[in-house]
Chains A and B, each alone.
Chain A
Amino acid sequence: MARVAAVTGNEAVAEALRQINPDVCAAYPITPQTELMQRFAAFVSNGKVDTELILVESEHSAMSACIGAAAAGGRVATATCGPGLALMWEMLYVASGMRLPIVMAVVNRSLSAPLNIHGDHSDAMGARDSGWIQLWSENAQEAYDNTIQAFRIAENMNIRLPAMVCMDGFIISHSIGRIEYLEDEPVRSFVGEYQPLNPLLDLDNPKSYGPLILTDQYHEYKRAQHEVMTRVKDVVLAVAAEFEKVSGRRYGLFESYRLDDAEIGLVILNSAAGTAKDVVDSFRERGIRAGLLKPRLFRPFPYEEVAQALKGLKAVAVLDRADSFGGYGPVFMEVCSALYPLAERPVVINKIYGLGGRDFLPQHAEEVLAELEEIARTGKVRVAKEYIGVRE
């Protein structure tokens, strides 16, 4: 039986963490993630979980404590966003290099300067090369569902990698929406008993983590990290199939929305994909064959599957809520890499939208789809990369 509630994205993820009851959580508050950890801290204080909550003096310390606890043999979770994630940078690589299955909610926020606390994807996109699995979420329901699935993916014995679950700051983290919670028992049996691997606290079998490796072995170690990433897709799909049995909700590597016979399409992450889907519907009602692809698993990126989903289109716009200044948006670069091996492929353009929480409105999706119609008809591209929704 599902429990229906009207809650914020932060509340939804805190509830998932309560149901999962991790052994250790080390966290430092930062807007818009603060409410998530505040609610989880209340669960700890009220005895709703057995988690040892470690309050630290910075995000660098938060991730360091998570790494220690995970290496010791515990199930570990944390949450952060924006500059907090940036301060964790060094330790993100340590967590993945040590193959520790830490799960972290990332409430996507912009990076300074200028100082801005609002939603954009610059934080997690900057962390995309850190060796963490990344799952992205359109709304509170997906953030809740992805959090539960992330533990199973990260802790899989053939994977053992940290995973971040992303949702849009404020737009989802602070907005109330309808959610269907699973009951506690099904979540606990879905996630299962934690299986430690090479725990430091197994004192009869001493081992060391993160020793110095010079030129003799480092390269091989990094290849092993690449190799394990190639196995993640299958685990994500297997976990999704099991989750569907428990929840009735279906997840894949990405969501294909009305793409099968589409001629033009948008590729867009997180909350803006919801707004854009309504606009795709209105184009369909006018007889225009529009579709949408919303990535869910961004790391590792499912190149072959994305190429298959988009290959029949004439024109595609990739919308990025982050920029690689002097380059293209991060999602655009992946989609182009996915499509390049194809002999025939759609024309692809890049739009940067919504930085620092700028609203992504239906009219923005309408304008981009109208431009794609024009490109599909004429084959002519006006501009490869452009900021939209800009105040001139």
Chain B
Amino acid sequence: MADTVEIRWHGRGGQGTVTAAKVLADACLTGGRHVQAFPEYGPERSGAPLKAYNRISSKELRMHCPVLEPQVVTVVDASLLDSVDVTEGAKPDAVFIVNTAKDPKEIREKLGAKPGQRVFTVDATRIALETIGRAFPNSPMLGAVCRVTGLVSLDHLLEDVRKSFGKKFSEKIIQGNLDAVRRGYEEVKEG
């Protein structure tokens, strides 16, 4: 990937999308890299569409504004595909990672992805239900982003998730999240 990778996350309030962006930034600090993670600030409402952003670079990050031309677009809630244009500004070689049980080819068609763009899907909500027991798709999505972008190794990401979640949650929930990240990594597929 390029010197600077810019990611846009689409989710709904309460799904852990902003947390996912934060964990990714933290995990990407390795190798002296510079990172940013920030949500689009607005009223915080459970269920409302939201965006969050990451920049990850080998160079100092000075840009302090939303990502307008993302290299990676992550859709944590597929119902947003009907109401938000998640392809807006995406680079000609952008990758899309969508949380859905549907086939990546079907999503590719729905997005109207350009020939140079790649579309991946992962059934993150089902994975979350099976591993964490609740519909928090952010951990499997992180695993999928890790696999598709190669920004950070799976082992390092798992270590970082343990560190980030360890402060707040019980061992059972941490273990569930680690399994969720691993399965997201393994089960993401391209269409």
- Residues on A facing B (Cβ under 8 Å): 4-6, 118, 138-139, 168, 170-172, 174-178, 271-272, 274-275, 277-278, 357, 359-362
B36 at the interface (CB under 8 A from A): yes
B65 at the interface (CB under 8 A from A): yes
Known interface pairs A6-B25, A176-B22, A178-B29. Does A278 touch B37 (Cβ–Cβ under 8 Å)? no
Minimum CB–CB distance from B45 to chain A (whole Å) comes to 15
B29 touches A6 (CB 8 A): yes
Other 14 A-B pairs with CB < 8 A, given A4-B32, A118-B41 = A6-B25, A6-B26, A6-B35, A138-B62, A170-B41, A176-B35, A177-B34, A178-B34, A271-B64, A272-B64, A274-B62, A275-B63, A359-B66, A360-B65
B38 at the interface (CB under 8 A from A): yes
A362 touches B65 (CB 8 A): yes
Chain A residues within an 8 Å CB radius of B34:
177-178
Known interface pairs A6-B26, A6-B29, A170-B41. Does A177 touch B65 (Cβ–Cβ under 8 Å)? no
Determine the distance from Cα of A4 to Cα of B25 in the docked complex, in whole angstroms.
12
- Residues on B facing A (Cβ under 8 Å): 22, 25-26, 29, 32-39, 41, 61-66, 68
Determine the distance from Cα of A358 to Cα of B32 in the docked complex, in whole angstroms.
31
Chain A residues within an 8 Å CB radius of B38:
171, 174-176
Determine the distance from Cα of A168 to Cα of B65 in the docked complex, in whole angstroms.
12
Chain B residues within an 8 Å CB radius of A168:
64
A274 touches B41 (CB 8 A): no
The residue on B at minimum CB distance from A118 is: B41
Chain B residues within an 8 Å CB radius of A138:
62
Minimum CB–CB distance from A173 to chain B (whole Å) comes to 10
A175 touches B63 (CB 8 A): no
Partner of B41, one of A174, A271, A272, A278: A174
Chain B residues within an 8 Å CB radius of A360:
64-65
Determine the distance from Cα of A362 to Cα of B34 in the docked complex, in whole angstroms.
20
Chain A residues within an 8 Å CB radius of B41:
118, 170, 174, 357
A6 touches B37 (CB 8 A): yes
The 8 closest A-B pairs by CB, nearest first: A274-B62, A175-B38, A271-B64, A176-B37, A6-B26, A178-B34, A6-B25, A170-B41
Max chain A Cβ within 10 angstroms of own Cβ: one of B22, B25, B63, B64: B64
Chain B residues within an 8 Å CB radius of A175:
36-38, 64
12 CB contacts below 8 A, A to B, read A4-B32, A6-B37, A118-B41, A138-B62, A168-B64, A175-B38, A177-B34, A178-B61, A274-B64, A357-B41, A360-B65, A361-B65
Chain A residues within an 8 Å CB radius of B66:
359
Determine the distance from Cα of A5 to Cα of B35 in the docked complex, in whole angstroms.
10
The residue on B at minimum CB distance from A281 is: B62
Minimum CB–CB distance from A30 to chain B (whole Å) comes to 15
Chain A residues within an 8 Å CB radius of B68:
361
Partner of A4, one of B29, B61, B63: B29
Determine the distance from Cα of A177 to Cα of B56 in the docked complex, in whole angstroms.
10
Chain A residues within an 8 Å CB radius of B25:
6, 176
The residue on B at minimum CB distance from A271 is: B64
The residue on A at minimum CB distance from B26 is: A6
Partner of A359, one of B22, B26, B33, B65: B65
Determine the distance from Cα of A78 to Cα of B3 in the docked complex, in whole angstroms.
39
Minimum CB–CB distance from A69 to chain B (whole Å) comes to 32
The residue on B at minimum CB distance from A117 is: B41
Chain A residues within an 8 Å CB radius of B37:
6, 175-176
Determine the distance from Cα of A170 to Cα of B38 in the docked complex, in whole angstroms.
9
The residue on B at minimum CB distance from A176 is: B37
B36 touches A176 (CB 8 A): yes
Determine the distance from Cα of A357 to Cα of B33 in the docked complex, in whole angstroms.
28
Known interface pairs A174-B38, A178-B34. Does A275 touch B62 (Cβ–Cβ under 8 Å)? yes
A171 touches B36 (CB 8 A): no
Max chain B Cβ within 10 angstroms of own Cβ: one of A4, A174, A177, A274: A177
The residue on B at minimum CB distance from A141 is: B60
Determine the distance from Cα of A176 to Cα of B26 in the docked complex, in whole angstroms.
9
Minimum CB–CB distance from A221 to chain B (whole Å) comes to 41
Chain A residues within an 8 Å CB radius of B29:
4-6, 178
The residue on A at minimum CB distance from B54 is: A176
Determine the distance from Cα of A359 to Cα of B65 in the docked complex, in whole angstroms.
6
Chain B residues within an 8 Å CB radius of A361:
65, 68
Determine the distance from Cα of A278 to Cα of B32 in the docked complex, in whole angstroms.
20
Determine the distance from Cα of A242 to Cα of B177 in the docked complex, in whole angstroms.
46
Determine the distance from Cα of A168 to Cα of B41 in the docked complex, in whole angstroms.
13
Minimum CB–CB distance from B122 to chain A (whole Å) comes to 24
The residue on B at minimum CB distance from A178 is: B34
Minimum CB–CB distance from B7 to chain A (whole Å) comes to 13
Chain B residues within an 8 Å CB radius of A171:
38, 64
Minimum CB–CB distance from B2 to chain A (whole Å) comes to 15
Chain A residues within an 8 Å CB radius of B62:
138-139, 274-275, 277-278
Chain B residues within an 8 Å CB radius of A277:
62
Determine the distance from Cα of A272 to Cα of B62 in the docked complex, in whole angstroms.
9
